[in-house]
């Protein structure tokens, strides 16, 4: 039977001017301290690399790992901040998961209105990705978003759907809401 050394979960936020080797440098720092790269979301936004990474680092290496992170700014231009992750409790209330897809003419306030409708129903956003693109045949800019949301046990899909359909009509967007496959 193998026993594992206690670990601490960190959520790292990393940002820097895009260039080759940023992810490799961060991965090397994690590996050099015996850490495990658990999950990540990495993107290039407006010429800037931005990433969020969840890592597990053995407790005996945690201090040296945290002390090594600032050096990445000098070495490769990657500013990294670490926050201790909070494990989800086993006793957390059950939640249902829904996927949301929105498409419409781009205008200010769309994300605010959608997230306010979700909040009004007690929904938690697990992931959100949004982008703009040119509409076909020169019709301006389109805004598109995909999200995965969790609903508390007491909230029903119907209430969320109603709240979102109300704002979809106001924003004049197409909205799809369904359970993940």
Query: Which domains can be identified in the chain, with CATH numbers?
Result: 7-84 (3.30.70.260), 95-178 (3.30.70.260)
Which is higher by pLDDT, 138 or 134?
134
Q: Residue 88's pLDDT is what?
A: 60
Q: How many CB atoms lie within 10 A of CB 4?
A: 7
Q: Residue 69's pLDDT is what?
A: 97
pLDDT at 14 over 70: yes
Give Cβ neighbours of residue 64 (< 8 Å, ≥ 6 apart): 33
Q: How many CB atoms lie within 10 A of CB 98?
A: 20
Q: Residue 8's pLDDT is what?
A: 96
Q: Running DSSP on this structure, what letter comes out for residue 18?
A: -
Average of pLDDT values for 57-80? 97
Average of pLDDT values for 38-61? 96
Tell me if 133 sits within 8 A of 87, measured CB to CB.
no
Task: Tell me the torsion sign for CA atoms 102, 106, 111, 112.
Answer: negative
d(C-alpha 108, C-alpha 1), whole Å: 57
Reported as half-sphere exposure (CB side, CA atoms, 13 A), residue 63 has a value of 1
* pTM of the predicted protein model: 0.78
Average of pLDDT values for 134-155? 88
Share of the chain above pLDDT 70, in %: 93
């Amino acid at each position: 039977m193998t026993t594992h050394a206690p670990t601490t979960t960190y959520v790292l936020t990393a940002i820097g001017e895009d260039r080759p080797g940023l992810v490799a440098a961060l991965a090397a720092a994690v590996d050099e301290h015996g850490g495990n790269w658990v999950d990540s979301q990495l993107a290039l936004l407006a010429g800037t690399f931005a990433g969020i990474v969840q890592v597990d680092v053995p407790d005996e290496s945690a201090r040296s790992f945290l002390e090594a992170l600032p050096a990445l700014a000098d070495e490769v231009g990657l500013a990294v901040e670490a926050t201790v992750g909070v494990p989800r409790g086993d006793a957390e209330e059950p939640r249902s998961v829904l996927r949301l897809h929105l498409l419409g003419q781009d205008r200010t306030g769309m994300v605010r209105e959608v997230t306010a409708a979700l909040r009004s129903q007690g929904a938690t956003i697990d992931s959100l990705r949004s982008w703009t693109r040119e509409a076909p045949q020169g019709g301006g800019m389109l805004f598109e978003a995909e999200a995965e949301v969790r609903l508390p046990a007491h909230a029903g899909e119907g209430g969320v759907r109603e709240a979102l359909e109300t704002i979809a009509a106001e924003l004049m967007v197409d909205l799809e809401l369904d359970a993940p496959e």
